[in-house]
Structure 1
Amino acid sequence: MSHTIIVGIDGSDNAQCALKWAISHAQKTDSQIRLISAYTVPGVNMSQADIVYPADFDAAVKKTIEDTAEAAAASVTEAGVPVSTTIVPGDASGVMVEHSKTADLAVVGARGRGGFAGRLLGSVALAMPAHSHCPTVVIPSTWPTRVMPDAPLPIDLPVRASGARTAEADGRDRPDFSGEIVAAVDPFETDTPVLRAAAAQAAIYGTPLRLVGVTATHILAPEWMPSEDHLVKMYDEAAKSFDAAVESLRADFPDLEVRYSIFDAPATEVLVSATYTADLAVIGSRGRGGFVSTILGSTSQGVLSHAVCPVRVVRVTRRQPGRRR
């Protein structure tokens, strides 16, 4: 049976970016798309205001949403992808989360308007990675144009890496992940849901997989700073762990090229910087160590808010053992 991708549609340019990405992914994975549109009609306390909505106001709002969904469905059909449409009244975040129960992947824009908008990171883009029952891909508002920040984050080169590449930017060498899918993986774990999800995605797209880990010695208490010997030992242990992680993928992904880079820097900065060149970033909604501590931790929120490439978020509960997907 075909996999189902749900896409939040609200008529915004960012939602169109999300739909285009979803169509491309559906074509590669033989999936069907379910368009989700939610709408609300503002209520008015008539004792406090003299605003009167026309009797058919609700119908007019719904008709606008239907027209938007119809146009979106036509573009999906034109691309040769099976499509269905669901239009319901209610909060967009709640509607998307509910439909994620019967979906294999959710795709939303990082920003939007109407029911799907709000803050720098839109309400749906914030709620779905934290509460969705399936993985969520969040598409930047400018994608596929990769708009770089005015002041790109100054990330040092990795302390350990396999197949590392660099490119000069802003007068300095930076890690280059062009043509790769980047997965944020704990450098001391050898098999995690994020690792498996990223490997599957890379295999589908026929691109190399880059494992990115952070040792995070920069957050250690000033009372104890590791010696050079301690640092070398820790970096070597992380590299050994990543070698084991690469090996763990060989049975299921024998043709997949897997590389890794280990950094000693703030996790959010490392991952946001990776989105400057990566085709896709894959992160967990929760984790331990340098990557996330709350239901949608500061690292995840930071990456989703500032990424310039699509980001796939895999639901991972704290200390959840690695499993295959």
Structure 2
Amino acid sequence: MARTDNALIVAAVDGTEPSLRALDWAAREARLLGRKLRVVHAFDWPLHYRVPRGLPGFDIDEFARRVVHEAVDRVREREPEVEAEALHIVGTVGPTLLQQSENAHLIVAGSRGLSGLRAVVLGSVGVQLAALAECPAVIVPDRDPGAETGRVVVGVDGSPSALAATDRAFVEAEARRATLRAVAVAGSASHGVFAALETPEGPGSPEREAAVAEARRRLSESLAGQRERHPGVYVEEEVLPGHPAEVLIDESEYADLVVVGSRGRGGFTGMLLGSVSQTLLSHSHCPVMVVHAAKS
């Protein structure tokens, strides 16, 4: 869907600690980008369609109002420059948040809490947002944020969604005045850079050299135009061996944000979210932004 220049950032909250971590990240992002923040609580109480609304001791609307208003108060306290609004909706969580993404600049959620399954690192709602949101989706891991590194990492493989991710990564690095570390993985040349099923033969082998050369070519082509549009962003280019998901997870330990496309060059064409993105979302040390290629 087309978005206007004043499109806002949406933060999904449910009162849990993971969602508050995501809210803090979204509020800072809103300040950095000079955008309005919408705090959204979608409440899907089990069996609420069959249980009387007058159940003693619990009121759905009052609970929802408290969640969003406390969240907005938190934003105003921590990021007073950010204009924030509250919205609570009783309905199925995933579809409600996907609808909120239609005209948004960005939608942000925690990696746990929204699914209600505390043992699952990335719940079904997080997967839905990453795979189906109409705007880029950021999933914030449920861990204490470390000191800022001043580095944004982007995974590059030349695919349409990775090119869109590269575009967005430059914007993010520029807003943070951060270094942009562009990473390509030298996997099996026959499968494409981000579709490696196994690592090529050892250093110096023809297979390895071909894979590295192909990765460098895609990396250079992906960055060329963006460098001209964002001359103030310092870029590090890196071609690394290994499996793409493992490489990006390692990179996330020393980054403030990792930006990836929703689906790389390999895998099944019909997949909305590739295996690399799914694995990274579940194991990243820092927030992950998933970007889809523009719809033709």
Counterpart CA distance in 1 for 2:17 and 2:57 is: 24
Q: Structure 1 residue 207 and structure 2 residue 178: aligned?
A: yes
**Cα 1:98/1:35, change in 2 over 3 Å:** same
Structure-2 residue corresponding to 1:104: 105
Counterpart CA distance in 2 for 1:231 and 1:66 is: 57
* Alpha-carbon distance, 1:41 to partner: 3.5
Q: Decide whether the 8 Å contact of 1:7 with 1:34 is kept in 2.
A: yes
Counterpart CA distance in 2 for 1:44 and 1:188 is: 43
Structure-2 residue corresponding to 1:281: 258
- Whichever residue aligns with residue 71 of structure 1, its letter is E
Partner of 1:281: helix, strand, or coil? Answer: strand
Counterpart CA distance in 1 for 2:242 and 2:105 is: 34
Q: Structure 1 residue 180 and structure 2 residue 158: aligned?
A: no
* Alpha-carbon distance, 1:21 to partner: 0.6
**Cα 1:229/1:118, change in 2 over 3 Å:** closer
- Whichever residue aligns with residue 105 of structure 1, its letter is L
Partner of 2:264: helix, strand, or coil? Answer: coil
* Alpha-carbon distance, 1:301 to partner: 1.0
Structure 1 stretches lacking a partner, 5+ long: 47-51, 147-176
Counterpart CA distance in 1 for 2:237 and 2:70 is: 42
* Alpha-carbon distance, 1:139 to partner: 0.3
- Larger Rg, first or second structure (1 or 2): 1
* Alpha-carbon distance, 1:294 to partner: 2.0
Structure 2 stretches lacking a partner, 5+ long: 189-195
Q: Percent identity?
A: 28
Counterpart CA distance in 2 for 1:292 and 1:226 is: 31
Structure-2 residue corresponding to 1:10: 14
Q: Aligned runs of 1:110-129 on 2, under 5 Å?
A: 110-113=111-114, 119-129=120-130
Counterpart CA distance in 2 for 1:98 and 1:20 is: 22
Size of the alignment, in residue pairs? 282
Counterpart CA distance in 2 for 1:21 and 1:291 is: 32
Q: Decide whether the 8 Å contact of 1:130 with 1:295 is kept in 2.
A: yes
* Alpha-carbon distance, 1:248 to partner: 2.0
Q: TM-score, normalised by structure 2?
A: 0.84
Structure-1 residue corresponding to 2:169: 198
Structure-2 residue corresponding to 1:137: 138
Structure-2 residue corresponding to 1:42: 46
- Whichever residue aligns with residue 183 of structure 1, its letter is V
Q: TM-score, normalised by structure 1?
A: 0.77
* Alpha-carbon distance, 1:116 to partner: 8.5
RMSD after superposition: 3.3
Q: Structure 1 residue 28 and structure 2 residue 32: aligned?
A: yes
Counterpart CA distance in 1 for 2:265 and 2:99 is: 27
